[in-house]
Amino acid sequence: MSLQISDKVKTLAAQAQADIRPQFDRIDAIAEENTAKVLAAFQKHRVSEAHFAGTTGYGYDDLGRDTLDLIFAELFHTEDALVRVQFVNGTHAISCALFGALKPGDVLVSAVGAPYDTMLGVIGVVDKGPGSLKSYGIEYRQVDLVDNAPDPAGLAQAVKDPRVKAVLIQRSRGYATRNSLSVEEIGSLAQVVKDNNPHAAVLVDNCYGEFVETIEPTQVGADLVVGSLIKNPGGGLAPTGGYIAGRRDLVEGAAMRLTTPGIGKECGSTFGANRSLYQGLFLAPHTTAQAVKTAVFAARMMELLGYRVDPASDAVRHDIIQMLHFGAPEPLKKFCKGIQFGAPVDSYVTPEPWDMPGYDCQVIMAAGAFIQGASIELSCDAPMREPYTAYLQGGLTYESGKAGVMLAVEELLRTQV
């Protein structure tokens, strides 16, 4: 029994792999440095079996939970952190961070164009039901991209209003076509905000960016980072959850929103999840590197086939996302189908576009994951709209990610004849 991969695709893959060797050395060096950081934080906080026990009910004095907060704060160089399985996803964590940082009459500014699709309902740009920031009297402004790039001058103008209390910077591109931001670029945007409005908090949607570089946005001026545990920092093992790390008052504000005023970080049982969160974080620098390698391989394969890709296979990476431009719905669907066939779970199903909650057009998603929807596992998704770009990410191991991409290319080529 073996995977059905033609000699043509195998030859192409050998060529791609040879071409991307120099990238792998760079990725390995980053993983090594980040692993050392994580290991040192575990040792400093004397992680032991006792941290994995967990609590039930109210979850008072959950040693594992409280220590993991300290470890995240250590890794992100922040005053405090909030790592919780009670965050249902990344959107929920970002939402709590925003509600914690803003009150009626305040203004939120998005620094790099429209934020991730699901945030539009949270902010109230589109009406997705009651309870948006807008419905609480929080205003929203957006600094649009100029030539598909950040506009520092526009940002400086936008934040001058003293009512601006929070600025959201999204590190990864989401379903936009702009480049993902490097940590350094985030640092300079944060500086623009501080220079023009020292009272505005800089919140970074850090999704897909963790451990791709050796520094994080909170080391270059961001006040808070937020992300999902079923992406990079969960290492593929976290069953659910999200994290927030940053300035103490902002973390506290978010915690009061996640639970309730007066309770904040003190409650929230972990019912056995702590071990997976710790082990996942321990693996996260390595797992993230596997995903980045898979993305680079996919980029090179598609380049060799003549497709436009972003970033290019030889580019320095700032997140785990690979854009593959198909230009038409059919090849995009075929590629996603092939990714699904390459999954360890649900490999026999055919992905179809559907109306996903929180999105304004149909979305196709290929994912055969151990953790439902975990995009640190090999997955490929695309909004079914121009320019029919697929967003490929994840791969728990490079070997399996590579196999998945090869099967996707196989499917793509099959339908072209």
Question: Which residues contact ligand PLP by CB under 6 A?
Answer: 89-91, 116, 118, 170, 172, 174, 205, 207-208, 228
In 219-273, which ranges are continuous DSSP H helix?
A: 248-258
Q: 12 vs 324, which CB is nearer to ligand PLP? A: 324
Nearer to ligand PLP, 280 or 331 (CB): 280
The residue at minimum Cβ distance from ligand PLP is 90
Taking the least distance from each CB to ligand PLP, the nearer of 200 and 367 is 367
Minimum Å gap between C-beta 205 and ligand PLP is: 5
Amino acid, res. 102:
L
Whichever of 224 and 407 has its CB closer to ligand PLP, that residue is 224
Residue type, 353: P
Q: Which is nearer to ligand PLP, 23 or 172 (CB)?
A: 172
Tokens matching residue 31: 């993983």
Q: How crowded is residue 302: how many other Cβ atoms within 10 Å of its Cβ?
A: 26
> CA-CA distances (angstroms) from residue 115 to 112, 120, 167?
8, 7, 11
- Are the beta carbons of 319 and 180 closer than 8 angstroms? yes
Minimum CB–partner distance for residue 398 and ligand PLP (Å): 21
Shortest distance, CB of residue 98 to ligand PLP, whole angstroms? 12
**What angle (nearest 5°) sits at the alpha carbon of residue 326, between those of residues 366 and 183?**
75
Question: What are the two backbone dihedrals, phi and then psi, of residue 81, each rounded to the nearest 5 degrees?
Answer: -155, 160
| Cβ at position 169, least distance to ligand PLP in Å | 11
In angstroms, what is the minimal distance from the CB of 185 to ligand PLP? 15
Confirm if 267 and 84 have CB atoms less than 8 A apart. Answer: no
Q: DSSP code of 191?
A: H
- The CA distance from 302 to 177, in Å, is 17
Distance in angstroms between the alpha carbons of the first and the last residue of the chain = 26
Residue closer to ligand PLP (CB basis): 67 or 379: 379
Q: Which residues of 276-286 are buried (b: 16+ CB within 10 A; e: fewer)?
A: bbbbbbbbbbb
Residue type present at position 214: T
Rounded to a whole number of angstroms, the minimum distance from the CB of residue 374 to ligand PLP is 10
Cβ of residue 172: shortest distance to ligand PLP, in angstroms?
4
Q: Is 379 helix (H, G, I), strand (E, B) or coil?
A: strand
**Cβ closer to ligand PLP: 161 or 353?**
353
Q: How far apart are CB 318 and ligand PLP at their closest, in Å?
A: 12
Nearer to ligand PLP, 116 or 341 (CB): 116
